[in-house]
């Protein structure tokens, strides 16, 4: 199941606030943090776990579950829009290590929606990733997917056990592009939006997530 659509009412409620042009910077960031936390809990349900036995203070043993992957999470924060989403994900995965990639699209104005955009990567620092690690790449917006594909290429060189994308809105075109090239990647998103405009913005989208979070 490579695409996981988080369409429950609470996700959609928060997304609706994020889309609303009247939502100010503080509330926008708070919404992103909340979505990150909730999405983290959903992602946790797809991680590997073991059945274990524990002894309670009453001296009785009972069966339980330990999600062993919780200690092997690496979150990649795609600057800058992902920062509040990552803040939320870290609440679900407090032991996660964190990598940072500063990526920005070169702005264009074309007659047609772009199929590919030039991505400038100005900084990157990624912790050592092993084959036991689960990598979560966080970026709230996937438009042409040019940014995400570039990040996935970088991260997949270290062959993690699993690669997961945490996004909020992905365009139909971007989802298709990612899953065609990387069928084993799991893509979590709250909405798949139908279109891109001539500047490569997602329509209806929520505007520029970086600007709305940070001004
Ligand atoms: C936005 C967004 C993604 C990228 C998506 O970042 O946060 O990183 O565009 O577009 P793509 O799928 O077409 O690559 P932007 O380049 O605007 O930088 P910012 O986060 O600093 O605002």
The ipTM (two decimal places) reads 0.96
pLDDT tens across 57-74, in order? Answer: 999 999 999 999 999 999
* Paired residues of 189 in beta bridges: 5
> What is the rounded distance in angstroms from the CA atom of residue 154 to the CA atom of residue 76?
11
Reported residue count of the chain is 215
pLDDT tens across 117-128, in order? Answer: 999 999 999 999
Domain-wise residue ranges, the chain: 3-214
Q: Contact, 43 vs 136, CB < 8 A? A: yes
Fold annotation for 3-214: Rossmann fold (3.40.50)
Which atom of ligand 1 lies nearest, measured to the CA of 119?
14
> What is the rounded distance in angstroms from the CA atom of residue 47 to the CA atom of residue 15?
25
Which atom of ligand 1 lies nearest, measured to the CA of 81?
20
Q: 193 in ligand 1 pocket by Cβ < 6 Å? A: no
Q: How confident is the model at residue 8 (pLDDT cuts 50, 70, 90)?
A: very high
Q: 139 in ligand 1 pocket by Cβ < 6 Å? A: yes
The alpha carbon of residue 49 and the mean position of all alpha carbons in its chain are separated, in whole angstroms, by 22
As annotated, the binding site includes 30-34, 80, 105, 139-147, 202, 207-209
pLDDT tens across 31-49, in order? Answer: 999 999 999 999 999 999 9
pLDDT tens across 140-188, in order? Answer: 999 999 999 999 999 999 999 999 999 999 999 999 999 999 999 999 9
Q: 66 CA distance to ligand 1 centroid (A)? A: 36
């Amino acid at each position: 199941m490579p695409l996981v659509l988080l369409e429950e009412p609470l996700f959609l409620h928060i997304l609706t606030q994020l889309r609303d042009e009247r939502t100010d910077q503080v509330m926008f960031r708070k919404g992103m943090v909340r979505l990150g936390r909730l999405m983290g809990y959903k992602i946790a349900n797809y991680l590997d776990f073991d059945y274990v036995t524990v002894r309670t203070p009453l001296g009785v043993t009972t069966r339980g579950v330990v999600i062993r992957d919780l200690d092997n999470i690496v979150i990649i924060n795609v600057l800058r829009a992902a920062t509040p989403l990552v803040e939320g994900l870290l609440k679900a995965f407090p032991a996660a290590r964190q990598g940072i990639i500063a990526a920005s699209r070169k702005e264009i104005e074309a007659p047609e929606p772009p199929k590919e955009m030039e991505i400038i990567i100005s900084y990157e620092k990624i912790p050592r990733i092993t084959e036991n690690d689960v990598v979560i790449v966080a970026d709230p917006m996937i438009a042409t997917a040019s940014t995400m594909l570039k990040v996935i290429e970088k991260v997949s060189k270290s062959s993690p056990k699993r690669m997961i994308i945490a996004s909020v809105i992905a365009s139909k075109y971007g989802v298709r592009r990612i899953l065609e090239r990387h069928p084993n990647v799991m893509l979590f998103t709250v909405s798949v939006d139908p279109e891109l405009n001539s500047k490569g913005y997602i329509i209806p989208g929520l505007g520029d997530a970086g600007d709305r979070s940070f001004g």
